[in-house]
Structure formats: C-alpha cells, structure tokens
A and B are shown apart, each in its own frame.
Chain A
Amino acid sequence: MSEAILKIENLCVSFDGFPVLDDLSLVVARGELRFLIGPNGAGKTTLMDVISGKVRARSGRVLFDPTVPASGDPHPSTIEVHGEIRFEGLDLARMREDAIVRAGIARKFQTPSVFNSLTVAENVAVAAAYRDRFLRQLFPPSPARRERITRALEDVGLLHRAYVQAGALSHGERQWLEIAMLLVQSPRIMLLDEPIAGMTRQERERTGELLHRLAGAHTIIITEHDMEFVREFARTVTVLHMGRVLREGPIDDIQRDPVVREVYLGRQKAAAGDAA
C-alpha cells in the first residue's frame, strides 16, 4: 500500500441539524483513482464540498459556528462541520477554497462551470494563472505557460476548439474544458464530480481512458452515478450510504457484496426493471 495523500477522520457534517456526513473516515493513497459511489443523498457531493472548502467551518478543527455559505449556495444556513481532513500536513477544514486549490487540490463541479464569455484557451489561461501575483497578471504569460495550456487542451482533445467561446461549447465539451482547467494546474488531487454526465458514449470512453492515463501522476477522486462507467473504469470503489462508508474495495468485490447490492445496485436494478 503506497502512502496516504488524503486522510479524512471522523468527519461529521450536518445542515440545520440534519446529518449529511456521519462519522466518515476515508484514506486515499497517492496516485490512486478512487471512485465514490452511492445512492442519491449518500453524501458524495457534500464530501467533495468539504474537501474543496465549499462547505467549511470558519475556524478551528471542531466547530459549531454557522458558516455563511456563498450566495447561490443551496445549503441551508446552519452548517456544522466536525472532524479532520489531512492533506500533506494541512488541515483542509480550516482553509479557504482558493488556498486549498493553491495547495494542490482542484475540483470539477457537477454542472460544468466555465467562463462563457471567454474563449476555450482563455478559460484554461485563467486557471493556469492561479499562483500569479497581481502584477504578474499585467504581462503576457511565458512561453512555458502557453505550452502547458496547449498541452492541457490537447489532453482533453479541445485544441481545435481553442478560439471558440466557451458559451458555444456542447455539454460534453464543457465538461472537458473544465477538466483541462484542472489539468493545467497539475494538481496533486483532482476531485471530479460526475464528469461524464451528459456525455455521449464515445465521449465517455475517451474520458475514462483520460482518467486512467492521469491516475498515477495525479490522485483522482471521482463520484459517479453511471454504473456501467464505474464497472468499466473503476479500480477501487468506496460506497457511501447515509453519510457513512458502507464498503470499500476492488470493484469486483463490491459488485458481489450483498449489502451493496441491496442499498444501491439492487435499487438500480429494480428501477431498471420498472423502466423495462
């Protein structure tokens, strides 16, 4: 077992007294490609919100302080966060979201969020400049920086669309653009929230292959609803249920696990049966 890069211990999060994450502990190893799965409301997105600093205790490790959510945030006003998230000696629960990104944890959101008025290349350039000082931003980027932007676009296959306004991209392309914005920062941990939602079959394949290529150099934590995709590309899977870790292990074991089948796969099967 290689060394742990992210360690979450006894994490509890509740919104207005309603527990969303309940004493959750999770260890992710360096270079791992970890899938988080679980039924709706299992706490997958909330877990990412806490790691990336979107949901955060104002100060201290254990707090009862109501956090002011960013406007547009669907979360209710009283948020409690307990527990510890360790990354390279940092306690993420105490850090601001932009500081977390600069420390090396980048996040892609469930609904792709890119800058519609900027071109594809400019979107990636904004992400690439994340460590620049204010005055540095007044001058054109270095050739090395441009090379990295080109490479990130190449990686996701958007190079031929570099001058298109991001607002004109298809849903799948927007997903890739957001991934490119992460890639250009070469983060140590990438958090991907349902990156293949809305993609065609071909696009999914390409994304899955991209993920496999990136794992190793990057640690990737990814939530996914699409079980077909999970079966095809997942190695280690963590199943969340009711804010807890239900099972963790290789995808084959997880698929055979009767408890998992009951809470998750079974439910999907039932739904599929209903649909048929």
Chain B
Amino acid sequence: MTAATARLTSPGARPRELLRLAGPLVPILLTGAILFLAPAFLSDFRQNLLAKFLCFAILAIGIDLLWGYAGMLSLGHGVWFGLGGYAMGMYLKMEDADGRLPDFMNWSGLTAIPWFWKPFEHAWFALPAAVLGPGFLAYLVGYLVFRSRVKGAYFSIITQALALILSIFFVGQQQYTGGTNGLTNFSTLFGFTLADRATQDALYYLTVATLLLTMLFATWLTRAPLGRLLIAIRDDEDRVRFSGHNVTLLKAAVFAVSAALAGLAGALYVPQVGIISPANMGIVPSIEFVLLVAVGGRATITGAVIGAILVSWARSTLSENYPDTWLYLFGALFIGSVLLFPAGIVGTWRSLLRHRRLPIRRPPFRAPSAVRLDTPGASHE
C-alpha cells in the first residue's frame, strides 16, 4: 500500500499506519547491525572482500530501481561504475603524483598532465564528478534514447554497445587512461596510507554507511508516488503517457539516478580494491551486475542487497576453492537459481509468506456511505 491510498483506510488504523511506515526500515536496520558487527568476526582480508561486495550492493540497488521497478534492463552499467571508479582513480593518482606526472603517463611518453586530468587533483571536484558525471551522462543518453521511444531489448542492446565501446576506448587511450592495466598502485587517500588497517577500517564503515543511506533513499523513492509511477511505466508505458506524464523525462531521470549510484559504487570500490581497469566496465561485468539483482529478487531493495552479497560471495568462494572449474560452477549456480527461483531469493520468500497468510485478509475497507452509481436494481453489487 502506498501513501496515496492512506486516506482511504479507516482513521482508527493509526498503530497499523505506524507499522506500515516503520516496516520497511527493519531490513535496513538489520543490515546495518550485521554489517557493523561483521568486522569482529572477519579477518582483514575477508573484511576487505565484504567491503567490495557492499560496493556491488550499492550498484545493485541502482540496477533494481531501473530494471526491477521501471522495467528497463541495462546491460551496460559497467560504464557508469567504471566512470565513477576512474574519477576516483584519477584523484588518487594525482594525489600520489603530487604535482608530478602520474607513473603510467611517464611510461606512455606524455610530458605534461592532460588538461582534463587537472581538475581531478581536487577532491571537491573528483568526488562529486564520480557521482554526478555518470548521472548527467546517463540522463543525456537516456533522454536521446527514450525520446525516440526505444525500449525493451533495443534499449538493452544500446547499453551493451555503450559498455563495449567505452571499454575499448579506454584500452586504446593508454596515455590518458592507463590502457588495459587501468589505474592502480595507489598509496594514499586524503593523506592516509591506503595499506593501513585504520584507513581500510574507515573505508569499510564509510561503505556500510553509504549502503544504508542508499537503501533508505531507494526505499523512500519506491514507496513515494514516484515508485508507483515507475511500476506503472513497467506495466504499460503508453498508458502512462496517455495519462499525461512525460515518460521520456521520467525514464531518463531514473536512468540517471541508477547511473549515479553505480558511479558512487565505483568511487568507493577503487580505494578498497586498489585498481580500476577496462575489465571492470565491459560487457561481462555489466551482465554480472544484472545477475546480482536477478538472483536477489527484482523490485525489492533488500533483494538487490542480498543478491549482491551472496552472488559476490559465491563467486569468490568458488574461485578460491576450484580455481580451474569455478566459472562453470558459478554459471551453473546462476542458471539453477534463476530456473528454480525466477522471482529471486526475496521474491520467492515473499510469495511463500503470502501463501501462508492467505486466510488473513487485508484490513476491511471503509464502506462508502452511498455508492452514487447504484441503481435500485444493482444495489447488491
């Protein structure tokens, strides 16, 4: 139920009303509690891995808003993740170089810092750029694509092409982007040594906090009237248009929000993993990002987070234990879970709950004093 219908419930439903507002916060608080306590039980290495998974969870929420709610399947979110990561990487490189030429530029024969690298020496530019840059670019791309009424598979293909083009472009521009190797060998962030335990701890908690805020934001967004509007677009885009909404702008805006979250995830990922390269932004990672949401459950925020953590965890566990065959196992796991649970983990869980609760009806609806349409003959309706 949304706020839109709140007026329609009986005024005596106050406590239930409170529960309705507080209910969605439970998964967020639970996630927060688990993640804040987790470092006590994890080795430094595992904690660092978890932080990486949490970055993917932020990105998965963005994909969920776009795909699960508004029905647009982007197979190119690596682009936005990568752009956010590169913006952060450029800042780290500039900080390390401290006015001199970053190492890889030296090797590629550049003699001066390129003009578009210059602003990235300032954190106040690089950090917002990591989030707003992808958001703005996605809005532009989205506006052009959606204006010509491109949708469904065609939209997916365009986003996939974008991922391919950009990753090839980044490989080709070695002197500016570090080529295939990407940007790596970072040593400090805001003057703190990245290898330090305390720095990594701080980054971990920052990631947890960002994830919780993202969950809160997404929960608010999807429970607001806008969330219903997104589902309406997924159901029947043309009907939304004929209801007087500017669907082109709405879709572009959601695409932008989703891309901005991906950029945010990329920016958090880089200082903790220590590298960003075209391998993070091509087609394969883009498809893996979608799998996170598919396994966790579309159109549920918690599902996106659970999916992101579980899938990433399975991926790394399998690759550690079966270095030769892990890709096959990973693929089989994915195919199996999508075949068995097409609604995802959370979606399946919810439908199980619904079935169990079936005999209990929703709160009775306030009986209208008079249904004005009723003719005497039809009054029993």
Could you list which residues of chain A lie within 8 angstroms of chain B, going by C-beta atoms?
A: 52, 54, 68, 70-72, 97-98, 101-102, 106-107, 109, 113-119, 121-123, 125-127, 129-132, 134, 137-141, 143, 146-147, 149-150, 154-157, 159-160, 162-163, 181, 185, 202, 205-206, 209-210
Please tell me the number of chain B residues within 8 Å of chain A, measured between CB atoms: 49
Is B43 engaged at the interface, CB distance under 8 Å to the other chain? Answer: no
22 examples of A-B residue contacts, CB within 8 angstroms: A71-B151, A98-B243, A101-B244, A102-B244, A106-B242, A107-B242, A115-B236, A121-B5, A122-B4, A126-B232, A126-B245, A129-B245, A130-B245, A137-B225, A139-B225, A140-B3, A140-B225, A147-B7, A154-B371, A155-B373, A163-B362, A163-B365
In whole Å, how far is A58's beta carbon from the nearest beta carbon of chain B? 12
Q: Report whether A157 and B242 are in contact in the complex, using a CB–CB cutoff of 8 Å.
A: no
Which 8 residue pairs are nearest across A and B when measured between Cβ atoms? A130-B244, A101-B244, A146-B7, A140-B3, A125-B4, A137-B226, A121-B5, A157-B373
**A162, B365: Cβ atoms closer than 8 Å:** yes
Count of A-B contacts with CB under 8 A? 159
**Complex CA–CA separation, A40 to B306 (angstroms):** 54
Nearest opposing residue in chain B for A139, CB measure: B224
Q: Whole-angstrom distance from the CB of B168 to the nearest CB of chain A?
A: 30
CA distance A109 to B239 in the complex (A): 9
In the assembled complex, B253 has its CB within 8 A of some CB on chain A: yes
Contact B228 A163 (CB under 8 A): no
Tell whether, in the assembled complex, residue A116 and residue B371 are in contact, meaning their CB atoms are under 8 Å apart.
Answer: no
Q: How far is the CB of B338 from chain A (nearest CB, A)?
A: 21
For B367, give the chain A residue with the smallest CB separation. Answer: A160
B228 x A126 contact (CB < 8 A): yes
Q: Which of B152, B225, B231, B246 gathers the greatest number of chain A CB atoms within 10 Å?
A: B225
Q: Which residues of B contact A202 (CB under 8 A)?
A: 375, 377-378, 381
With CB as the reference atom, state the residue of chain A lying closest to B243.
Answer: A127
Contact A119–B1 (Cβ < 8 Å): yes
Q: Is B6 interfacial (CB 8 A cutoff)?
A: yes
Q: Which of B149, B235, B242, B362 contacts A101 (CB 8 A)?
A: B242
Q: A127-B243, A157-B371 are in contact. Are A113 and B236 (CB under 8 A)?
A: yes
Considering only CB atoms, which chain A residue lies closest to B238 in the complex?
A: A70
Q: Is B107 an interface residue (CB 8 A)?
A: no
Give the nearest-CB partner of A102 in chain B.
Answer: B244
Contacts of A117 in B (CB 8 A): 231, 234-235
| Given known A68-B148, A154-B371, contact A122–B2 (CB-CB < 8 A) | yes
**Residue in B8, B226, B246 whose beta carbon sits within 8 Å of that of A98 in the complex:** B246
A156 contacts B373, C-beta separation under 8 Å: yes
8 Å CB contact of B3 from A54, A98, A141: A141
* A70 to B249 CA separation, bound complex (whole angstroms): 16
Which chain B residues in 245-266 approach chain A with CB under 8 Å? 245-247, 249-250, 253
Q: Which residues of A contact B375 (CB under 8 A)?
A: 202, 205-206, 209
